[in-house]
Amino acid sequence: MDIHEYQAKEILARSGVPIPRGGLAYSPEQAAFHAREMGGKVWVVKAQIHSGGRGKAGGVKICRSEDEVRDAAASLFGQTLVTAQTGPQGKCVYRVYVEEGTDIAQEMYLGLVLDRKSERIMIVGAAEGGMSIEELAAEKPDALVRMVVDPAVGLAEYQSREFAFALGLAPGQVPKMVTVLRACYRAYRDLDATMVEINPLVVTASGDLMALDAKMSFDTNALFRRPAVAELRDRSQEDPREAAAQDAGLNYVGLDGDIGCMINGAGLAMATMDMIKQAGGEPANFLDVGGGASPERVLRAFRTVLGDARVRVMLVNIFAGINRCDWIAEGVVQAYRTLGITMPVVVRLSGTNVDEGRAILAASGLPIITADTLADAAREAVAARAAA
């Protein structure tokens, strides 16, 4: 689960990360009020969407008067920002964050992520910030500083000092970087985060460190024990298909194709999408219906996939172990009749109770296309899409 910049900053500030003063606004007048309340001569108005690259998309505006703040906020509200991370559909702006200007002497990058290879939290930093870390890694890979944290020990102060010196910070700034690093690590560890990113982390003209932008992501599977984090969820920034699937307890990722998929097992789902591509089609989604799927769960999965108006064909691929093919078949028949499906449906069943499942499909009298292998199912789905 992602959260907004202002929410991430509030969390990091509570842990001890210095941030500029700012205020959240839902209207242009409220934005101007925050600028007047903070005082000063320069303010930054930032669109709050779940995406990086907002500046390049016109979502960050520097203002030098209250009127400019008001006008900047008015121009952002209701605007759809398209960035490299949002995809072509973009994301709509419903709130802005007004922040006091900062006198910047240097910009740096700081990020904490899960390194799955070492099974550790990895801290990544660079003396050059304010740009995409992907671009920096591609153009200047040697500029990145990496450090792995042993979970049995945690982030030690000596590690933080070594990291600060590796970034080329002055001796007087090293203790401040130690504070920032340890604060970020505590927030990551204590809230079941999967990413903490500060870009840029700046050195101000007075030599202080300040987080000018922040992003945090959290482990969705751990939200049940982090109710305060779960409350930060903003559904307006989520793919409605994925939000509906999550509410139904399904593992779903929306894609851009038109062949809907319902599969059990993440590995089989990936293989199925590959086979659809190889056959010349485009999958509309990843959906793992899970083990022990009842007919009711299959119906929910169908309803979720068909909620995407782009879907023209439905492909069901089940290799039953814990699952039972007869349950899946009953669910497919129930979904076909309950939802009034008119599009082609391709079903491939294998494993536990496969003969019973195929018999249920055959006895239904419905125009369901069956296949014996995954390759056959993919070809049938692509052919049905071409004929639709």
Query: Which is it for the CA torsion 303, 307, 309, 314, positive or negative?
Result: negative
Question: Strand 345-351 to strand 369-371: parallel, antiparallel, or no bridges (unpaired)?
Answer: parallel
| Cβ 81 vs Cβ 93: under 8 Å | yes
By CB atoms closer than 10 A (0-12, 13-18, 19+), residue 130 is: middle
Residues flagged as binding site for Mg(2+) = 199, 213
In DSSP terms, 349 is beta-bridged to 318
Residues flagged as binding site = 46, 53-55, 99, 102, 107, 199, 213, 264
Active site residue 197: yes
Dist CA 149 CA 114 (whole Å): 10
Residues flagged as binding site for ATP = 46, 53-55, 99, 102, 107
* Catalytic residue, candidates 5, 197, 330, 380: 197
Residues flagged as binding site for substrate = 264
Residue type, 257: G
| Cβ 377 vs Cβ 371: under 8 Å | yes
| Cβ 236 vs Cβ 210: under 8 Å | no
Dist CA 313 CA 386 (whole Å): 10
Active site residue 109: yes
Dist CA 102 CA 276 (whole Å): 51
| CA distances from residue 117 to 100, 122, 222 in whole angstroms, order as listed | 40, 10, 21
* Catalytic residue, candidates 6, 97, 109, 185: 109
Question: Catalytic amino acids?
Answer: 109, 197
